[in-house]
Amino acid sequence: MGSSTPVDDRTWLFLPCPEISRCLLLVQMAFRLPHLLRCDTTNTDGSMFRDQTYGRHFVRYYCTMKTNELREAYLSFFESKGCVRRPSDVLVPKDDPTVLFTPAGMNQFKNQFLGIGPLEFTKATTSQKCLRTGDIGNVGVTAYHHTFFEMLGNFSFGDYFKKEAIHWAWEFLTDKKWLGLDPQRLKVTVYLDDDEAYDIWHKEVGLSTDHIRRDDEHENFWPAGAPSNGPDGVCGPCSEIYYYPPSGGKEVEIWNLVFTQFNRVGDPPDNLKPLPKQNIDTGMGLERCAAVLQGVESNYEIDILRPLCEAAGETVGKKYSFAGPEGRALRRIADHLRACAFAIHEGVAPGSHGAEYIIRLLLRRAFLEGYLIGMREPFLHLLVPKVNELMAVPYPELSKTEQTVAGTIKEEEQHFLGTIDRGLGKFEKLVEKAKSGGGNVLPGKEVFDLHQTDGFILDLTQAMAADRGLTIDMQEYGIAEEDHKRKSGQGSWGVMAAGPLDEIQKVVGDTEFLAYETTSSTAKVVGLIVDGQPVEVVKTPDARVDVILDRSPFYGESGGQVGDSGTLSGPSLLVNVEDVQKHGGLIVHRGVLVSGELKVGDSVDAQVDDERRAGIRRAHTATHLLHHALHQVLGDHAMQRGSKVEDDQLRFDFSHGAAVKADELLNIEDIVNAKIVAGAPVSIDYMDLKDAKAQGAMALFGEKYPDRVRLVSMGEFSKELCGGTHLDNTGQVGLCKIAQEENVAAGVRRITAYTGKKALDKVRESERLLEDVGRALKTPQLHDLPRKIDQLQEELKTLRQERAQFTKASVANRVGELLAKAEQVGEARIVCIELQDVDRDTLREYADQLRNQGGSIAVLLGTTIEGKVALLAAVSKDLVKRGIKAGDCVREAAKAVGGGGGGRPDLAEAGGKLPEKTPQALEVAATYYRNALNG
RNA sequence: GGGGGAUUAGCUCAGUUGGGAGAGCGCUUGCAUGGCAUGCAAGAGGUCAUCGGUUCAAGUCCGUUAUCCUCCA
């Protein structure tokens, strides 16, 4: 490729081009790319470029608008319009149960759109990292599909509306100071009857009518099709902006302006009620727009993605080119890996549930692309540094978790290789079966079963089947898949609609939060909810009720700390509060009405269960000590990944690649308890987030923090951002006992520990258990127990062996006698007798020895075991050949003792419930054998 | 959150309609063999994960618990 390099760190981009003069080419390129800085068709020595990807003639160029610059330009443009620049929300929202991943820029502003809570600003702009898996099949195939992408957005909460949104979008796209795109290449759409938007585009912006199209509710309404099909809630028409590339390729939707102006209530007609406050929600795909500005045909060719595709190619040993045979696979690897790296960075490791499962799926699909190319060892993790390098400008924090993320990915890759390995055996059997049946189709049901139980992704099975000239019955597969989906139960995503709690909050505002200062106070009831509906009064005894107070000493579950419990009381009124949750700024007391009645407006005494709160405080402070100890013993990578703090017990998840060794665990426990004994003071300070970080405070990646944070410090060794309730001094924890260490997801370990009273209880419990065992084994010296148990087991084994030998010997003694007394029918003998004090094994031993020594022989033995009859029939091989069947015999005989049985022709067993009838059963058997031998 | 599956010898795994617990590798011993993954023979090694149920009889059928794998949302 060309020898000269760009003047700064800009990356050359490449396009095929016709063989034309350099001058003409420059004009053409300048026309295409408003930000073109430099372009070339030849090397400095005048020779033509040669490249297998782009052919003989291509142009090499670079332009000012790198993706990072576009992102920055967008944000500063809207800042200049008065929007507040907000950081990207986390990719995996922890406090929004309606989504697994942030799907769009507006997600972090849900409450502002719904009018819940205070408005710190009325317009905002963001570049939001998003993850969607709905179109995963298209990723790598089309030019524009991603799972992970960034969305540029500007938002208005009752501030500016259509006019500004449209004008600003146009200004940013076409003004030479900003993107400077050719207006002739832009066309827009509006919703069918949105004349307001149409007129702004046509009359104010000056777009000619052939550049404006009206589209229906499925194309130009949010949510799509909402007027006819719902869901209920806020909605509105959209206006989309399309770019028509000079290459004549397909148009690209680069910007969608959503005008949320309605609240949908029920089905048409007249179901769209105007909202009192109108909002703006716009989204511009960063990668798409970058592709337009950089003059490339696909998002995967832009400066922050193409190098990743190329790096992916290198790790699998293939050269990446867009149209090359591995192009699609490498793009998928690049896309999925980017998504996984970001999610894992935020602490969502591959797992079996929720978001964690999606990440596992993405990672496995990415790995599979490499596997099908021929990779048989982990390779994805090698690309993590490349992702971080390309995304370092907007997300510098990625570098801090690089090792953990790469390690987690590597572990999952190895894990998946193991899964593939295990499934291969079953797959081979399927192939065998299909081929031996003469067919070349694998049954869909069994292929799905392979997928469902062994994680064999369909693509893999298909590829491997194709290698052997087999296909899969996809229709049957589809049926099995549907069936599984139905059985495993489909949950529905919540839609964006305000619930009764939001209504209450709009009226009364946030609950005043007293939990840091006190555990009891008087308060006024400002809202009651029963069965999800707001009510004015509750008087049914035992009714479950959610109570909202104007102020509350209760701590609502958050930051891993469980909600308080306690009571709300008044004259002749008692509500048991069992759980307390936070909903936005509200504290929701979930409880049961024990007595009296509760009305909105009532004054109540709110009393937190002090003892339980004290236990929670012990556990929470101990959690910080544990976090500190983990860093000391395991290293700084042992970052918190989640926690659950309860009454004197805690669960702490952290990243660590391997099981924590026993001695490490002891060491951790020692450090925690040393810090407890040290009695370090616990202090709480409020400060700006950046100051706290400057002090080295530990914060969770992927957690959203407000600008003012609460810093919890213990002595000089621990500083964490935390909203929980803590002790005044670490000494008050008393004791911390680690109970368990386990694996929860790839690269994530969990420690369970107890504090205070429960720690003591746990120790006592195991002591008592040991003492019980010692008593049972008559070993008062507990340290003798392991030896005692070994000794007893050895003894038991020896006795069993001796007994078996003894039985064998005693059987041998009697067999001769039994044979001597046996009934003779021709050449054969019949032995039908009852034995005393023998078990089933001994009966078999008799039968074996009788057959070994008795030549042609038919046997039926009976005995009584635990009040029930046991019968065993045996027939020597020569008699079996004559058609005498032990199974038939024993079945007949069993009827006489009220039972049934069966077995093989040479040996069969049966039982019955009537021991006193055993002689009759023996007679039935003898008769059966006689008849059979004579017949 | 829900679904499917697994758990049998030290290891890897078979085990049909319920009727006598198996193979390969490894281990021990003996014999053969001057050498590499040597050959032959014998042997040891099992709470069939757990607890309960059905049955005359459960590794096998049903349920519980634990651990692991896996899928769906």
Determine the Cα–Cα distance for residues A623 and A472; give it in Å rounded to an integer. 52
Q: How far is CA A848 from the centre of its chain?
A: 58
Predicted confidence (pLDDT) at residue A495 exceeds the cutoff of 50: no
What contacts A694, CB < 8 A, 6 or more positions away?
A: none
Determine the Cα–Cα distance for residues A606 and A883; give it in Å rounded to an integer. 87
Q: What is the mean pLDDT of residues A733-752?
A: 80
Residue A11: the pLDDT is 60
In this prediction, residue A152 has a pLDDT band, given cuts at 50, 70 and 90, of very high
Residue A640: the pLDDT is 83
Residue A496: the pLDDT is 45
Q: What are phi and psi of A429, to 5 degrees?
A: -65, -40
Task: Give the CA-to-C1' distance from A424 to B6 in angstroms.
Answer: 16
Determine the Cα–Cα distance for residues A575 and A539; give it in Å rounded to an integer. 11
Residue owning tokens 């951002």:
A721
Predicted confidence (pLDDT) at residue A1 exceeds the cutoff of 50: no
**A358: nearest nucleotide, CA–C1' criterion:** B73
DSSP-assigned beta bridge partners for residue A243: A186, A252
Task: Give the CA-to-C1' distance from A436 to B23 in angstroms.
Answer: 24
Helix (H), strand (E), coil (C) string for A698-737: ECCCCCCCCCEEEEEEECCCEEEECCCCCCCEHHHHCCEE
Residue A24: the pLDDT is 67
Alpha helices for A488-609 (secondary structure H): 500-508
Residue A111: the pLDDT is 77
**A847: nearest nucleotide, CA–C1' criterion:** B20
Q: What is the mean pLDDT of residues A228-242?
A: 86
Q: pLDDT digits over A580-638, tens only?
A: 888 878 899 988 999 999 999 999 999 999 999 999 999 999 999 999 999 998 888 78
The burial of A859, by beta-carbon neighbours within 10 Å (0-12 exposed, 13-18 middle, 19 or more buried), is given as: buried
Residue A229: the pLDDT is 79
Predicted confidence (pLDDT) at residue A18 exceeds the cutoff of 70: no
SS3 A137: helix
CA atoms within 13 A on the CB side of A443: 13
Residue owning tokens 């006019």:
A163
**A897: nearest nucleotide, CA–C1' criterion:** B56
The complex's ipTM works out to 0.83
Determine the Cα–Cα distance for residues A833 and A854; give it in Å rounded to an integer. 15
Task: Give the CA-to-C1' distance from A451 to B14 in angstroms.
Answer: 23
Which residue's CA lies closest to nucleotide B56 at its C1' atom? A911
Q: pLDDT digits over A284-325, tens only?
A: 999 999 998 888 888 998 989 999 999 999 998 988 888 888
CA atoms within 13 A on the CB side of A785: 13
Q: pLDDT digits over A887-919, tens only?
A: 899 998 998 898 888 888 888 999 888 889 999
Residue A477: the pLDDT is 83
Residue A6: the pLDDT is 45
Predicted confidence (pLDDT) at residue A134 exceeds the cutoff of 50: yes
**A900: nearest nucleotide, CA–C1' criterion:** B56
Residue owning tokens 């909810």:
A529
CA angle, A217 then A221 then A224, to 5°: 75
Q: pLDDT digits over A367-404, tens only?
A: 888 888 888 888 999 999 999 999 999 998 888 888 88
Which residue's CA lies closest to nucleotide B5 at its C1' atom? A453
Which residue's CA lies closest to nucleotide B17 at its C1' atom? A903
What contacts A813, CB < 8 A, 6 or more positions away?
A: none
Task: Give the CA-to-C1' distance from A742 to B63 in angstroms.
Answer: 28
Residue A490: the pLDDT is 45
Chain B bases closer than 7 angstroms to a protein Cβ: 1-5, 13-14, 19-20, 45-46, 55-57, 68-73
CA angle, A145 then A151 then A156, to 5°: 140
Task: Give the CA-to-C1' distance from A322 to B6 in angstroms.
Answer: 43
The two structure tokens encoding residue A450: 């392979």
Determine the Cα–Cα distance for residues A300 and A816; give it in Å rounded to an integer. 89
What contacts A227, CB < 8 A, 6 or more positions away?
A: A217, A221, A235, A264, A268, A271, A272
Predicted confidence (pLDDT) at residue A765 exceeds the cutoff of 80: no
Residue A287: the pLDDT is 94
Residue owning tokens 């680069």:
A254
Q: With contact defined as beta carbons under 8 Å apart, do A22 and A30 qualify?
A: no
* Count of beta carbons in the 10 Å neighbourhood of residue A614: 18
Predicted confidence (pLDDT) at residue A427 exceeds the cutoff of 90: no
**A887: nearest nucleotide, CA–C1' criterion:** B19
- Tell me the helices (H) and strands (E) count for chain A, helix number first: 25, 38
Predicted confidence (pLDDT) at residue A447 exceeds the cutoff of 70: yes
Determine the Cα–Cα distance for residues A932 and A905; give it in Å rounded to an integer. 13
Task: Give the CA-to-C1' distance from A421 to B27 in angstroms.
Answer: 28
Q: How far is CA A135 from the centre of its chain?
A: 18
Q: What is the mean pLDDT of residues A396-425?
A: 84
Q: With contact defined as beta carbons under 8 Å apart, do A197 and A190 qualify?
A: yes
Residue A922: the pLDDT is 92
Determine the Cα–Cα distance for residues A753 and A646; give it in Å rounded to an integer. 10
Q: What is the mean pLDDT of residues A176-189?
A: 87
The two structure tokens encoding residue A127: 């570049």
Determine the Cα–Cα distance for residues A188 and A165; give it in Å rounded to an integer. 13
In this prediction, residue A172 has a pLDDT band, given cuts at 50, 70 and 90, of very high
